[in-house]
């Protein structure tokens, strides 16, 4: 049974339809990776699921309940957390303060300040440093840690590796293994690094022009099939990282 169900979901930016009748389900503990070129609608899809962007049609259901027009902060309290593209930490607040603010507005559970710092050891010596003083990789780790402080059942991760060095990306994903290994948190992940996606995801869905054009178990999909869907039957080159 799906914990998160998206049914014929559509979303707009003014006259531009960014998400077009998207449907999928994600079970508890599943890792669903969304791939696609810039402008495919991935970020808008995640923001609409999280309640920070208004749906133009369709529905999002969580644990069997239709969320309707529920605001983002109420979805957080139910167990849906978004790590947005660009991290968006409170730059004037310390790492510890960023984490504590999120924890005060979330659910009770295993993720506390100490367990988050244990999962992201790079943050331990930085807990008193302001968010605006961190490197990109440190900010990403803090942003994921902040989302975990709400004890989500569904974690939406948007562009984890965007703008980060390969070393920083590896460090962030290594820390994420503590979440993945538990097998209890459903993760919907937007990621450009296709090789990494194929290694960690349970399922992969490729978006093109606002629609899902390919979906399947990662183990059953070839890199070639995903790449073709990514570009719309080999429409050009670039964008997918080896």
Say what the alpha-carbon torsion angle 86, 88, 94, 99 is, to the nearest 10 degrees.
Answer: -100
What is the pLDDT averaged over residues 214-225?
Answer: 94
Q: Tell me, what's the pLDDT at 212?
A: 97
pLDDT-derived band at 180, boundaries 50, 70, 90: confident
What is the pLDDT averaged over residues 171-187?
Answer: 87
- Going along 141-238, which residue ranges are E strands? 154-158, 186-190, 203-208, 211-217
Across all residues in the chain, what is the average pLDDT? Answer: 90
pLDDT in tens, 76-116: 999 999 998 877 788 899 999 999 988 887 888 999 999 99
139, two tokens? 């900010």
What is the pLDDT averaged over residues 187-211?
Answer: 93
Distance from chain centroid for Cα 180: 13
- Residue 183 scores a pLDDT above 80: no
> By mean pLDDT, which of 61-65, 149-153, 190-194 is the weakest?
190-194
Q: Which CATH superfamily is domain 2-231 in?
A: P-loop containing nucleotide triphosphate hydrolases (3.40.50.300)
pLDDT in tens, 23-37: 999 999 999 999 999
């Amino acid at each position: 049974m799906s914990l998160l169900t998206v049914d014929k979901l559509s979303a707009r930016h003014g006259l531009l339809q960014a998400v077009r009748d998207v449907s999928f389900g994600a079970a508890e503990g599943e890792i669903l990776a969304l791939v696609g070129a810039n402008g495919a609608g991935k970020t808008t899809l995640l923001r609409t699921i999280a309640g920070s962007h208004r749906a133009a049609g369709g529905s999002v259901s969580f644990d069997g309940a239709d969320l309707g027009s529920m605001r983002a902060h109420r979805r957080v309290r139910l167990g849906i957390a978004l790590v947005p593209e660009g991290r968006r930490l409170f730059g004037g607040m310390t790492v510890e303060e960023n984490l504590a603010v999120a924890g005060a507005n979330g659910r009770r559970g295993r993720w506390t300040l100490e367990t988050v710092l244990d999962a992201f050891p790079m943050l331990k010596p930085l807990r008193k440093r302001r968010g605006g003083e961190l490197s990109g990789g440190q900010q990403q780790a803090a942003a994921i840690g902040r989302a975990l402080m709400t004890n989500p059942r569904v974690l939406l991760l948007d562009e984890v590796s965007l703008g980060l060095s390969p070393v920083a990306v590896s460090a962030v994903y290594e820390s994420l293994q503590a979440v993945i290994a538990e097998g209890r948190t459903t993760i919907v992940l937007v990621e450009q690094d296709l090789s990494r996606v194929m290694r960690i995801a349970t399922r992969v869905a490729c978006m093109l022009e606002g629609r899902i054009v390919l979906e399947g178990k990662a183990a059953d999909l070839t890199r070639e099939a995903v790449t073709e869907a990514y570009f719309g039957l080999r429409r050009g080159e670039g964008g997918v990282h080896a």
